[in-house]
Amino acid sequence: MTRAGAILLVEDTRSDALLYAALLRAADPSREVRQAASLAEAMALLEDGGYAAVLLDLGLPDSQDLEGLQEIVAHYPDLAVVVLTGREDDGLGERAIAAGAQEYLPKQEARGEVIERVLRHAQGRKAMENRLREAAVELHVLFDRNPMPVLVYDQASLRMCAANAAALEFYGWRHDEFLQRTALDIRPAHEHARFLSALHGPAASFRDVDWTHMHRDGRLMQVRVNDEPIRFRGSHCRMVIVRDVTREREAESARRRGDQRLATLADALPLLLMFVDRELRVEFINSGWTSELRRPAGEILGQHVVGLIREPAASHFARGLDTARGGVAHNVEFEDPDEDGTRTWAATFIPQRGPAGAVEGIHVMLRDVSREKAHRQELVRRAQQDPLTGCLNRAGFQFHGGQAWDAAASMGQPVVVYFFDLDGFKDINDKLGHAAGDAMLQAVAARLGDSMRPDDLLARLGGDEFAVIALNVADAVGARCLAEKLIDVVTANTSGAPETGCSVGYCIADPATTSLSKALRRADQALYAAKRAGKGRAMEWSPAAVEAPEESAEVSPAP
């Protein structure tokens, strides 16, 4: 591996190569000298890196004249090159320097101290060239590629010397026109005296100074400039970097107006809006929060949000915030009891990601859905309630009965299903009218409702058909007693409505093995058997009690 600072000697004449290598090592015994006899071999060695300079013979077997120099300079522009040649031709040396060599040395002058001095000068010159090239690249980036307006003017004459594309666009001039202007031409007349005073003042440069500049069309622009003295093309000049604070101020003003509009909108919405940072400290709230928390915004901003919320809402908040902080939006509905009652809130937690994708904060939105929930519950109640009697309808019986059925199955308890209809209901409707029939149904339903135990379910399935689901019935004796009670309640008329009676069929079922619909069919079959036995009878379903197969009996549909 080549040591840093090595010299590559490219010489195809072996005797010359040995001589120059010996002279180089004599001048610096620690120096590594590598040798190549052709341009191809030299290029292969240079790929390893670590060389400080190249001593290059121009008469190589695979390159002539300046070809080898041009090849090395093209591939290794940072490397110092000293050209060696046996030809006495000053013109060749000048052409070699023009082609990229740092020094030219005739072989007849190649003595140890001369080679050493030439190498030292070549490396110094190359280092300076490299610095100048890097500075030129930096200036190119700073000047030509800078998105901010940059211009250069002569300090004595004030005439413009250079301007980048951003400056030409900013001031509205073409390049040739702008170079005919002076530093005063881009300023309104009332700024001239101040500018000249600052330019000839004690400060060599001024930074972040606000000025008024002028567009070609006469439009005034507020700017902030950095003005530095520089040497430019051999003259004392000044370079100015311009920042358009007019646009910045307009943008800031627009942003403030936008923020105000958003704040106005946020306050007008029937929502509680909040933004918290990564540490869950409040950065923004709307007026809904100040009203809800009964505290001014100044006491809320900067506080940890969970500490502002009372339980049980605080627990829901903590879970929602934790989920959103992990990058996942979260929705939750919870109840919040207070001295005015219980409200239901729908909360949404939305993560706010930064440019790198990390969560930088969380948007929180709360909406009071108490009325909506009550309305939904009322709609469900109406959908499951018989409007005439107030009992459950068929849909309510299936829903609530199904829940009760599943609960009893999980506890291993039997359930009794009762099914009955009213005696003579059709005759009452036909003779006294439907109003009388409706009054009878309402009176019977009211008496049944008053007699039900807390866990019992009463439903009007349609017409004059009623069903009861009874839980916590101890045994068959208790089930029959409850059936007889139902007959007594239906018969006991104290309201003045037409009198009626009923028979009852019932089924004692194991909810773990028998479905609610099958138990209801069996109760219907038992009712059919009870009616055959006479009025006012109660009949428990059993295979022996019914004549028809259970599958043939169906509950009549709701009207």
Q: In what order do the strands lie in the sheet with 80-85?
A: 33-36, 6-10, 51-57, 80-85, 103-106
As a whole number, mean pLDDT of residues 108-126 equals: 82
As a whole number, mean pLDDT of residues 296-300 equals: 90
Q: How confident is the model at residue 3 (pLDDT cuts 50, 70, 90)?
A: low
Contacts of 35 (CB under 8 A, 6+ apart): 8, 9, 10, 11, 17, 21
Q: Are 169 and 150 in contact (CB under 8 A)?
A: no
| CATH number for position 242 | 3.30.450.20
Residue 28 inside a domain? The answer is yes
Same domain, 517 and 434: yes
Q: How many residues are present in the chain?
A: 559
H or E stretch including 259? helix 245-268
Q: Compute the distance between CA of residue 246 and CA of residue 254 in angstroms, rounded to an integer.
A: 12
Of 83-92, 211-220, 238-247, the poorest mean pLDDT is in: 83-92
As a whole number, mean pLDDT of residues 314-334 equals: 91
| Backbone angles phi and psi of 215, in degrees to 5 | -75, 165
Q: How confident is the model at residue 496 (pLDDT cuts 50, 70, 90)?
A: low
Residue 260 inside a domain? The answer is no
Residue 548: pLDDT above 80? Answer: no
| CATH number for position 399 | 3.30.70.270
Residue 380 inside a domain? The answer is no
Q: Compute the distance between CA of residue 99 and CA of residue 14 in angstroms, rounded to an integer.
A: 26
Residue 62 inside a domain? The answer is yes
Q: Are 469 and 404 in contact (CB under 8 A)?
A: yes
Cross-strand partners of 361: 277, 352
Same domain, 547 and 481: yes
**Which 3 state secondary structure label does DSSP give 284?**
strand
Give the tens place of pLDDT for each residue, 325-371. 999 999 988 888 877 778 888 899 999 999 899 999 999 999 988 88
Mapped to the 3 state alphabet, what secondary structure does 19-49 carry?
Answer: HHHHHHHHHCCCCCEEEECCHHHHHHHHCCC
| Backbone angles phi and psi of 210, in degrees to 5 | -85, 130
Give the tens place of pLDDT for each residue, 259-295. 888 888 888 888 889 999 999 999 999 988 888 888 8
Residue 96 inside a domain? The answer is yes
pLDDT of amino acid 96: 87
pLDDT of amino acid 202: 78
Q: Are 416 and 404 in contact (CB under 8 A)?
A: no
Residue 426: pLDDT above 60? Answer: yes
Residue 114: pLDDT above 90? Answer: no
The tokens for 370 are 């108490």
Residue 133: pLDDT above 90? Answer: no
pLDDT of amino acid 553: 38
H or E stretch including 316? helix 313-325
Residue 166 inside a domain? The answer is yes
Residue 127 domain boundaries: 6-141
Of 224-228, 375-379, 413-417, the poorest mean pLDDT is in: 375-379
Q: Are 384 and 400 in contact (CB under 8 A)?
A: yes
Same domain, 234 and 180: yes
Q: Are 440 and 500 in contact (CB under 8 A)?
A: yes
Residue 253 inside a domain? The answer is no
Q: Compute the distance between CA of residue 536 and CA of residue 263 in angstroms, rounded to an integer.
A: 73
User: How confident is the prediction for the chain on average, in pLDDT?
Assistant: 87
pLDDT of amino acid 2: 59
Q: In what order do the strands lie in the sheet with 220-232?
A: 160-163, 150-154, 235-244, 220-232, 206-214
Residue 557: pLDDT above 50? Answer: no
pTM of this prediction? Answer: 0.43
Residue 554: pLDDT above 90? Answer: no
Same domain, 129 and 154: no
| Backbone angles phi and psi of 497, in degrees to 5 | -75, 165
Residue 550: pLDDT above 80? Answer: no
Residue 377 inside a domain? The answer is no
The tokens for 101 are 């060599």
Same domain, 540 and 406: yes
pLDDT of amino acid 551: 42
Q: Report DSSP state, residue 240.
A: E
Nearest-CA neighbor of 35 among 52, 56, 50? 56
Q: Which region holds residue 241: left if phi is over 0, alpha if psi is between -120 and 50, else beta?
A: beta
pLDDT of amino acid 490: 92
H or E stretch including 9? strand 6-10
Instruction: Among 106, 141, 176, give the residue marking a domain's end.
Output: 141
pLDDT of amino acid 306: 85
Of 18-32, 124-138, 475-489, 529-543, the poorest mean pLDDT is in: 124-138
**Could you tell me which residue, 403 or 50, shows the higher pLDDT?**
403
Same domain, 417 and 510: yes
Same domain, 317 and 398: no
Same domain, 495 and 515: yes
Instruction: Among 141, 164, 193, give the residue marking a domain's end.
Output: 141
The half-sphere exposure of 72 on its side-chain side, counting CA atoms within 13 A, is 35
pLDDT of amino acid 559: 34
As a whole number, mean pLDDT of residues 225-244 equals: 90
Same domain, 347 and 394: no
Cross-strand partners of 275: 284, 363
Amino acid letter, residue 77: P
- Say how many domains are in the chain: 4
Same domain, 130 and 13: yes
Same domain, 347 and 482: no
Same domain, 366 and 515: no
| CATH number for position 30 | 3.40.50.2300
Burial of 428 (0-12, 13-18, 19+ CB in 10 A): buried
Q: How confident is the model at residue 158 (pLDDT cuts 50, 70, 90)?
A: very high
